[in-house]
Each structure stands twice: as structure tokens, then as C-alpha cells.
Amino acid sequence: MPKLSEGHFRISMTATAQEKPYFSKVTVIGVGLIGGSLALKMKANGLWGTVVGVGRSKANLEKAVELGVIDSFTHDVSEGVRGADLVIIAVPVRTTIPVLKDAVPALKIGAIVTDVGSVKGGIVDEAEKLMPEGVFFVGAHPIAGTEYSGVEAAFATLFEGRRCILTPTGKTSREAFEAVGALWRAAGSKLVEMDTAAHDKVLASVSHLPHMIAYSLVNSVADVDGEIDGVLGFSAGGFKDFTRIASSSPAMWLDICAMNRDALLDVIKVFESRVTRLKTLLQAEDYTALMEEFERAKRVRDSI
Amino acid sequence: MPKLSEGHFRISMTATAQEKPYFSKVTVIGVGLIGGSLALKMKANGLWGTVVGVGRSKANLEKAVELGVIDSFTHDVSEGVRGADLVIIAVPVRTTIPVLKDAVPALKIGAIVTDVGSVKGGIVDEAEKLMPEGVFFVGAHPIAGTEYSGVEAAFATLFEGRRCILTPTGKTSREAFEAVGALWRAAGSKLVEMDTAAHDKVLASVSHLPHMIAYSLVNSVADVDGEIDGVLGFSAGGFKDFTRIASSSPAMWLDICAMNRDALLDVIKVFESRVTRLKTLLQAEDYTALMEEFERAKRVRDSI
């Protein structure tokens, strides 16, 4: 199975690219928390020249201009990417490929295209097939976010000290990879290189599965609340913290589930068997084995 | 099914008891975070005269004297409770009844005995059978705690604004119930009255089940880590918050599981069916129904 390397590039970058990954024209498709925060940071660092925003909401794009996140905007993807040296696709994961299809005919030779999606397999494979000769795709996933969304939530330090996973393949251009790496390093991220399958399984485990669990737990307690009126009134403290992520955007999580279906199903099955084991041990009153389960979990959790 | 009443007593207390639930000799069995915090608050308020601590650890009891939590201590339960007007049993839930059995022969007529356990059914039923004529048991569960334990973690304001569930039965003395209610009110708690079965199901849902889930999730990710080395290294932010409770004391949680086995098994089954439903919908790519599940959870969670 694949091993992960962390905190460094396997491919060393040129000194020039490391110091100044400058792009004179950049297009950000999806000017929200992630795309907006990256643009703010890059403009503040003088690393991006002109920044064009592409999106559907005029109000959001006007706000982005007002906040200095972008210089101009359009609702038309192909118009937006024309002449861009760098294109950042920062839309919900199920929209990435459709947007890329619209962009492809207008991309200039030498352009680098990258994304920020929390699912990589389906996106990177498809994106590589779509790339014309001389246009380069690099899959990226900055692991950062807040509970807020939209450009008004954007801030330049969002990525500082956070990891950004890059998922190069055998087809990835080394130069493009180094340039995207330098970009995220300039944003303050710690870089991690991983193949797309490993990325998707890791994220399924530590992020997508916990969301499924939070949704399931909240719905379970709502079921019990139908039996004993008032149960939800006791959902203070720990339970509230534990289920905070059940307030995340259903639409965004539907996208992620659909895009990372196989890896997510795999880890759901692992989790189901773990819950069934606890249930079976409790039914059998096998407290020795139950204690071992708890102790293993505590040991693992304390080691994180 | 039972309805819960919240924030008030169904049985009104006498003005005297409400104002000054004074006890001249109190015995606290188990001088840890809960027992210690209650003693600190009651002594500070001048509501407890002499306080005797009972426990196994001499170091902890000496510390309790040093901190002014108790006035004296003994390792012997029956010696400790002799002459006490009020006995607080604040030990792990599986130890409550064994401790009570040791205490019974030495309890004085008129004494009130109460506990603080997070499981009530098995404890209250058994305690009522053990009580001699003229000695009164009242089940109580202050919903408060921190991640720390032991008397050094105790502080007088632990219960302020937190709920305390009282679980009277048909056998509960009204006077004893009012006195225990006044005690917790003086500690700053908001009182809630509930029958023991409802208490156990509520706690199974909002507290015991989440612990089982956290243990299961951590063990699942550890399983996946065996396949893809390094998964646990990505357990930052959300996952860490989500699984914090998996660091709780395995021994304490084993006790709770054993004592609340039936209610916990019930809610585990409800949860399993909720997880299976998400899995089945995802397998079938029924994204309309999956979206409804997510939206229901978000609606419920946002309403808390």
C-alpha cells in the first residue's frame, strides 16, 4: 500500500520558483472562502498580477471586487480563463469537471490549472484526460476551512500552518507541480504529496466518515426524541461539540459523498463492523474484550 | 412514553428548605471532581458543617483535607457514614451499590443518602430495596464534568448553570427529595425531574452512545491506518475535536456500559440502522434521499 510523505516535496523546486511563484494573470473560478482567501494572500504578497473572478452570484463577485480579492469578474468561464497563466478551480467537487470542460477551449498554451477539492481520484483522472497539449493540471487540496462560506468569510492567513495535499500522477508536469507547490508554500501551507487513491481514503477516514456519523447520530437522537419527548433538550456540551459538523452544508456533503463514493463506502463498512463489535460484546457482557476496545481507542487517540 | 419536565420541581419545596438546606454532618464517599466540587461549594456557602471524606487513596484524601474540601477522612465506609445527616455517594456507577451495602448498617435514622451517577435505573431500584426504615434515598445526576478527575480538579462553580437530574420514584420521601433538590439548587444547578427509565435512555442517547461512536471511529481509522500508513497523521482539527471523548477513562465507561446496558443497546441499534441507511442510499446512488437525511440532521442540529 502507498506510503505518504509529509512536509516536503520529493521533487525539489528551483530556487526561482520557490522564491517567487509569480503569475501575471490569474483566474479564480469560485470566489468563496478558499478561492478568496488564496487570492487575498497572493495579492498581498505581490505574487499575482491581475486576478479575474468567475462565479454565478453577481452580489458575491461585486463584494469580492470591493474587498480587493479580485480585480474584475465575469459569469462566463471561457471568457474568464482567456489569457490566464494560472487557473484555480475552487467550486464544489461535483462542479469541477463541468467547469473545466467549459474552460478547456479558452486555455492558453502554458497555462497551469489546479483545483482545491476534497476529493481527488475522479477529478484528477478526468482533468488529465481533458487537458490539451501544453496545458498542465495539478491536483491540490488545502486542508483548511471554517464553518463560514462565501468571499466575506475569506482571510489571507487561512492556510498558514495548515496542510495542503498535492496529488501528482505519472502525467503531471514537474514544472507545473513545482509552481503549484511554491504557490501553496507561499500561502503558508505545509505541503504533503500523496497519490489520489491514498488521498481519497485518508479524507474518507478522517473527514467524510465523521460527517456521516454526525448526521447519523443526530438523526438517531431525533428518532429517540420521538419516543421520549425532550431528549434533544439534553444535547448540551459534549453532544453539541460532537455533532457540530452535522450543521455543515448538505449540498456540499452530497457532492463529496457522490465524488468519493467508493472510498467512503469502504470506511463506512469498517466503521459498521467496529460498532457491531461493541454491540456484540455488550450483549454478551464480555467486559474484558470491551475494555480492550476502549483502551485501544484511548491509546490511539492519545497518540494523535 | 414519559414526558420530561424541566427547570422546576413538580413538588414545591418549603421556603425554609429552599433557603437553607443545612446539614451538620455530611459524608462524601468518593472525593473526586464531583464530590469534591460539591463539598467546596457547600462549605463556602456555610451549608455543610463537618464533612467526612471516604475513599481508597490516602494521598487524594490528604490532598482533599489540605484543599479544605473535607475536614477528616477514613477508608472505612461504615465508620465514615456513622452519624451523618447526609451521605453523598460519588463513586463510579458500578461501585455505588456495593458501597451502599457497606454503609447501610451504620446509617442513622433520618439520614438522606443520594448519589451522582450517570446511570439511574439499576442504582435507584437497588438502593431503595437496601434502605432501612427511616433512611431515605434520592437518585441524582448532576450533568457536569471536565476532562480532569480527582480532588485537585474540583472547583466550587462546577455545577453553576448546569442541569441536575433528580429521579424520584413512588417510594421517594417528599422531604428528602426537597432537601436534595435544595442542595443542588444551592450548588447553582438547574433542576430537572425525570423517571429513571427516561433518564437512562436520554443519557444513553446524548452521552453514552456518542462515546461508543468515538471509540468505534478511532478504532476504524486505526484499522485503515494499517492499510495506508500515515492516516492518523491527518487527524487534525475536526477529527480531533470529534474524537476527544475517546480519551475518556475506559474503566469509567465500562462501568457505565455495564450499568446502562439495555438502554445503550437500544440506542446503538437505532444508530446502526441510521448508518446502514446512509450506506444503502450511497450504494444505490439515491442522492435525493441522501440529501433528505443530511437536511433532516442539519435541521435538528441547528435547532438545539
CATH 1.10.3660.10 fits domain B198-303: yes
SS3 A131: coil
pLDDT at A149 over 90: no
Residue of B225, B228, B276, B295 to mutate when probing chain A, most A C-beta within 10 A? B228
Q: Where in chain B is the domain with CATH 1.10.3660.10?
A: 198-303
Chain A residue numbers with beta carbons less than 8 Å from the beta carbon of B2 are 228
User: What's chain A's average pLDDT?
Assistant: 90
Looking at chain A, which residue has its C-alpha nearest residue B268? A279
Q: How confident is the model at residue A138 (pLDDT cuts 50, 70, 90)?
A: very high
Query: What residues of chain B, 56 to 75, have a C-beta less than 8 Å from chain A?
Result: none
Q: Class of the B5-194 domain?
A: alpha beta
Looking at chain A, which residue has its C-alpha nearest residue B192? A234
> Rounded to a whole number, what is the distance in Å from the CA of B72 to chain A's nearest CA?
34
The confidence score (pLDDT) of residue B236 equals 63
- Between A227-236, A239-248, B99-108, B128-137, the lowest mean confidence (pLDDT) is in A227-236
- Between A6-15, A261-270, B165-174, the lowest mean confidence (pLDDT) is in A6-15
User: Could you give the CA distance from residue A71 to residue A42 in angstroms, rounded to a whole number?
Assistant: 13
Q: For A99-125, write each residue's pLDDT tens digit.
A: 999 999 999 999 999 999 999 999 999
Q: How confident is the model at residue A304 (pLDDT cuts 50, 70, 90)?
A: confident
Joined together, the cell numbers standing for residue A39 give 487570492
Residues A208, B259 contacting (CB under 8 angstroms): no
Sheet holding B136-138, edge to edge: B72-74, B48-54, B23-29, B86-89, B112-115, B136-138
Q: How confident is the model at residue A4 (pLDDT cuts 50, 70, 90)?
A: very low
CB–CB contact A244 B241 (8 Å): yes
Measured in residues, chain A has a length of 304
User: Could you give the CA distance from residue B232 to residue A5 in angstroms, rounded to a whole number?
Assistant: 13
Instruction: Name the residue among A212, A246, A291 with its Cβ closest to that of B278.
Output: A212
**Grouped pLDDT means (10 residues each) for chain B, 304 residues:** 32 43 94 96 94 97 97 98 97 96 96 96 96 94 84 95 95 93 95 94 94 95 84 76 86 93 96 97 97 95 88
Sheet holding A48-54, edge to edge: A72-74, A48-54, A23-29, A86-89, A112-115, A136-138
Residues B282, A264 contacting (CB under 8 angstroms): yes
Q: For B161-214, write each residue's pLDDT tens digit.
A: 999 999 999 999 999 999 999 999 999 999 999 999 999 999 999 999 999 999
Q: For chain A, say whether B254 makes contact (Cβ under 8 Å).
A: yes
Q: Which pTM does this prediction carry? A: 0.85
Q: For chain A, say whether B15 makes contact (Cβ under 8 Å).
A: no
Q: For B101-129, write each residue's pLDDT tens digit.
A: 999 999 999 999 999 999 999 999 999 99
Cα–Cα distances in Å, from A38 out to A33, A41, A182?
A: 9, 5, 13
Terminal-residue alpha carbon distance, chain A: 22
Rg (CA), chain A: 22
The confidence score (pLDDT) of residue A236 equals 63
Q: Where in chain B is the domain with CATH 3.40.50.720?
A: 5-194
Number of CB atoms found within 10 A of residue B17's CB:
17
